[in-house]
Structure 1
Amino acid sequence: MTSALRQKAAQMASAAAAAAAGTGCYSQTSWALRRLGAGGGALASAATRRRNCSVAAAVFDNQNREYVIVGGGNAAGYAARTFVEHGMADGRLCIVSKEAVPPYERPALTKGYLFPPEKKPARLPGFHTCVGSGGQRQTAEWYKENGIEVLYEDPVEAFDGKTQTLKTSSGKILKYGSLIISTGCAAARLPEKIGGDLPGVHYIRDVADADSLVSSLGKAKKIVVIGGGYIGMEVAAAACGWNLDTTIIFPEDHIMPRLFTPSLAKKYEELYEQNGVKFVKGALIDKLDAGSDGRVSSAILKDGSVVEADTVIVGIGAKPSVSPFEAVGVNIEVGGIEVDSMFRTSIPSIFAIGDVAAFPLKMYDRIARVEHVDHARKSAQHCIETLLTSQAKAYDYLPYFYSRVFEYEGSSRKIWWQFYGDNVGETIEVGNFDPKIATFWIDSDSRLKGVFLESGTSEEFSLLPKLARSQPIVDKAKLKSATSVEDALEIARSSL
């Protein structure tokens, strides 16, 4: 180390605040170079600056300060993999997480993780990212081997864009050159004053939540699931594996109201009822009551009726975790941090990915926020490719949703549906749900906008994204007269 560099490091160590304000060595300069695809000489100059500036990192609590990912969910794990693939992780990347474990495939928490012990439940480290897409299992050792610094159980609580620093709950001060916000969502909660925090009331967002719920399920007799969406349906299906008295309560007329048509929902409701699940529709919770032991004992509805329960699972949606990054720019309409088609925020060197990103949904020409693992994976990869290369291709996402339930041993029937596209327009339903059923959404111009399929073959499922992206003009009369799902899909295929 030169004497000049030693002197500089000493100055920064004695005046951390001033140093933080003056060491944005990687920020706008290297960000611009990466964006514009600067030549070898310019990149060499940037690399020299990085080496010189790395001396100053000693005053901060993260050694690898060029790139910082805030959040330890699905998107963070896939972003880390992309950094490694480009040879830009070792000694450069830091992940700051509120969780005690490395990123994992979060959908497992409401599916296989909730199976009873004798039915082979999923457990970590079995589903760390990126196994959900056929990739390597990224355990804590994987991050160490690839030179990635991970700060566990220490969420970011404060952010200063001027000094490019972050402060964690433990008081650590972290420096970044490029910041990737990957904070995801938090479960929407019932108010404490109506019993939302009683013992025996559960929310599922992380593995600690799932562990707590599994412990309750092992002792439970009667459970109430509040909410008829994704979480509610998946948790209720898992509860059937425990042979528990299960009731689902929700305010809508049918389950999965954001996607399912009434007719489609009825088929699934009948299947759940065959597995012993009871539905209370069009109902609102007035409060959750506690027994003499202080634990939840019942759900009291607005109409005064009472549903007994010793365990309650609340699945009423989620809210994007934008704090403490509101100043970066929050989209009021959809929530989340607004980004462009390459996941750049309005502030250079700051990106947002996954559930928390409000991004341009190119094929439908609107700003959207998608809470789904598929988008978390793809947005992470696209963002990091943009950050590390001269890629300038806009993110062109095709909405995709799926669910897999009743997959435990001994189940009378496993369920696996997939949906691609946009659920707008007239619907045409084909099939009898024994086992297949398909629903097609068609607009006023006879264009196919979205397609749903239950229990399809791999070949049939692979056709769905082609149809949804191409949006072909289909013959509605032929589709309505199709005598089987296979015939309907062939009619749709012939329209491509």
Structure 2
Amino acid sequence: MTLGSLMSPQPVRKVMAIVSNSPLLKHGLFYSCPHSTSLNQTHRFALSMGSRLFQRRSFVVAASSAFANQNCEYVIVGGGNAAGYAARTFVEHGMADGRLCIVSKEAHAPYERPALTKAYLFPLDKKPARLPGFHTCVGSGGERQTPDWYKEKGIEMLHEDPVTSIDFETQTLATTSGRLLKYGTLIIATGCTATRFPDKIGGNLPGVHYIRDIADADSLIASLAKARKVVVVGGGYIGMEVAAAAVGWKLDITIIFPENHLLQRLFTPSLAKRYEKLYEENGVKFLKGVAIKNLETGSDGHVAAIKLEDGSTIEADTIIIGIGAKPAVGPFERVGLNTTVGGIQVDGQFRTSIPGIFAIGDVAAFPLKIYDRVARVEHVDHARRSAQHCVKALLGAQTHTYDYLPYFYSRVFEYEGSPRKVWWQFFGDNVGEVIEIGNFDPKVATFWIDSGKLKGVLVESGSPEEFQLLPKLARSQPSIDKTKLQNASSVEEAIAIAQTSLHE
């Protein structure tokens, strides 16, 4: 409901005339939002907020159009994890009802995106994940934020209407539908877009898939239901998780990538070898160290094969490309980009170079305090934490700098009937010398030690207590006896040695 629908133009003009003489309006402290019940209530709220609102950028609502365009004190652009967790934080602080609007290209309320490359891809007989089961914020044990949740909390949701431009001077966003939306404070949570193969080599052929949203996943499921030969391009998280889920369909699956081993940015060659063996035991084939020339079609125009640079071909009726992602900066380039790691540059409270504009999640290039460098992290844990930190900071609920500890995990082969479900977690920085303990039956632990200090640790199939210990180890970076650790006879003993080092 808009303010314009509650008042005729004449009363609106009278109220605006009264408010226009208020010192609050002269200082830019008046705002309006679609769910606001009256201008007088809005004015009273501005008066009550006083000095705190004075510190924020705001805008003045034009009365002449009878509020034909929407206006909101807080606007989030993006519909992924970060947007959902930011919304929850606004609600927790009593600042959502009638004040918050989310603008998204998604057709759905924010959901836990990691599900798309895991349980969402399982065949029907394996009990796949479906909405509303994985709306945010169930991924961290919070309340499930269904579309009804947003309505109940008074949050305006604008679906399938991405932002096309921004006017910094008037604090106005324009969307694909032609809507104009004024904001007081803007949070950019646009995430990433999948890196695609060029069209000239077949990147957009029927049967070629990328995964960033539910529509992508639904399209892939339709292909898997008819597929015989599946090729996954990319040996990172997307490739590993999609291939593992596709195993549940009992298809001919091949993973191909140019690197020498799986997940090269994190796994050591030894660790990767263990995972590759596990995939091979599940019927997945590998083709490593190869380059793709182009994708080829059959007589029906559907993708039929991958041609490699060496001239050989691999048959495939379904191809999933998971070769990375790019920050979705879209119309927000002028906010200020980081040319090294990509994305929008922010400070330790996620403020951009423009007052009143923030950026969170995958799209934000932020100071990684623990390692004294700027980073951009594409992970659900950071999306959640950055959203919460940003909203608390802009509401004045906290002032400390974001202090993130890098965390990555994966869960694969979790479909019903799988002979072995796999879950690993990593915390810290993968730098320095590596020590690996365990035989992967099922446990293994990998420790990264630099200048005598424990920098990072990865554990496969750990207990809840062991997983809870990992972030403590990675954040404390204790000095550790490398020889003692190398001589550990089991993962449990190695973790106990690391734990003891915390107290020495």
TM-score, scaled to structure 1: 0.91
> Which residue of the partner structure matches residue 17 of structure 1?
none
Task: Decide which moves more: 177-186 or 134-143.
Answer: 134-143
Q: Is the 8 A contact 1:25 1:177 kept in 2?
A: no
Distance change (3 Å), C-alpha of 1:356 and 1:405? same
> Could you tell me which residue of structure 1 aligns to residue 22 of structure 2?
none
Matches within 5 A, 1:134-149: 134-149=141-156
Q: How many residues align?
A: 472
User: For the Cα contact (< 8 Å) 1:25–1:53, is it kept in 2?
Assistant: no
**Aligned-pair Cα RMSD in Å:** 2.3
The separation in 2 between residues aligned to 1:141 and 1:401, in whole angstroms, is 31
CA contact (8 A) 1:164 1:176 kept: yes
Distance change >3 Å, CA 133–CA 468, structure 1 → 2: same
Match of 2:389 in 1: 382
Match of residue 252 from structure 1: 259
Match of 2:492 among 467, 486, 490: 486
Runs of 4+ residues over 4 Å off in structure 1: 1-5, 7-10, 22-27, 44-47, 49-58
Letter in 2 for 1:226: V
* 8 Å Cα contact 2:30/2:60 also seen in 1: no
The answer to whether the Cα contact below 8 Å between 1:24 and 1:164 also exists between their aligned partners in 2 is: no
Q: For residue 323 of structure 1, report the CA deviation from its aligned partner.
A: 1.2
Measured against aligned partners, the alpha-carbon deviations of 1:253-312 in whole angstroms (never above 9, x if no partner) come to 000000000000000000000000000000111000000111000011111111000000
- Cα displacement (A) at 1:41: 7.3
User: 1:414: Cα distance to partner?
Assistant: 0.4
| Secondary structure in 2 matching 1:273 | helix
Spell out the pairing of 1:430-469 with structure 2 (5 A cutoff). 430-443=437-450, 445-469=451-475
Three-state SS of the structure 1 residue aligned to 2:462 is: coil
Q: Which residue of 2 aligns with 1:476?
A: 482
- Residue 177 of structure 2: SS of its match in structure 1? coil
The corresponding residue for 1:82 is: 89
Aligned residues with identical type, % of pairs? 70
- Superposed, 1:214-233 pairs within 5 Å as 214-233=221-240
Deviation of residue 120 (structure 1)?
0.1
SS at match of 1:393: coil
Equivalent-residue separation in structure 2 for 1:307 and 1:412 (angstroms): 29
Contact map agreement 2:163 2:176 (CA 8 A) in 1: yes
CA contact (8 A) 1:385 1:391 kept: yes
| 1:295-347: CA deviation from partner (whole Å, max 9, x where unpaired) | 00001111111100000000000000011001100000000000000000111
What is the distance in 2 between the residues matched to 1:403 and 1:40? 47
- How do 1:410-421 and structure 2 match up within 5 A? 410-421=417-428
Instruction: State whether residues 107 and 373 of structure 1, in contact with CA within 8 Å, keep that contact through their aligned partners in structure 2.
Output: yes
Q: Does 1:159 align with 2:135?
A: no
Structure 2: 5+ residue stretches without partners: 1-6, 18-25, 32-46
Distance between the aligned counterparts of 2:383 and 2:91, measured in 1?
18
Alpha-carbon shift at residue 57 of structure 1 (Å): 8.8
User: Which residue identity does 1:479 align to in structure 2?
Assistant: L
1:316 aligned residue = 323
CA distance in 2, matches of 1:142, 1:211: 24
Residue in 2 aligned with 1:6?
A: 13
Is the Cα contact below 8 Å between 1:24 and 1:163 reproduced in 2? no
Q: Distance in 2 between matches of 1:446 and 1:301?
A: 44
Please tell me the residue identity of whatever aligns with 2:295: L
Answer 1 or 2: higher relative contact order, Cα 8 Å, separation at least 6: 1
Q: CA deviation at 1:434?
A: 0.2
Match of 2:111 in 1: 104
Distance 1:44 1:267 in 2: 55
2-structure distance, mates of 1:178, 1:370: 23
Superposed CA offset, 1:454-476 (max 9, x none): 00000000000000000000000
CA shift, 1:43, in A, is 3.7
State the 1:214 CA deviation: 0.5
Matched, 1:119 2:129: no
Cα distance between partner residues in 1 of 2:334 and 2:59? 30
**Long gaps (5+) in structure 1:** 11-21, 28-38
Mapped to 1, the partners of 2:442 and 2:11 lie a distance apart of 74
> Given the alignment of the two structures, is residue 403 of structure 1 paired with residue 405 of structure 2, yes or no?
no
Is 1:59 aligned with 2:67?
Answer: yes
Partner of residue 42, structure 1: 50
Query: Does the 8 A contact of 1:72 with 1:97 survive in 2?
Result: yes
Aligned with 1:176: secondary structure?
strand
- Calculate the TM-score normalised by the size of structure 2: 0.90
Shift of 1:3: 7.3
The alpha carbon displacement at 1:62 in A equals 2.3
Matched residue type, 1:467: L
Pair 1:311–1:5, CA change in 2 (3 A): same
Equivalent in the alignment of 2:298? 291
Cα distance, 1:45 vs structure 2: 7.6
- Do the aligned residues in 2 keep the contact of 1:424 with 1:450 (CA within 8 Å)? yes
SS in 2 for 1:177: strand
CA distance in 2: counterparts of 1:213 and 1:375, whole angstroms: 27
Q: Is the 8 A contact 1:26 1:178 kept in 2?
A: no
Letter in 2 for 1:160: D
Aligned to 2:343: 336
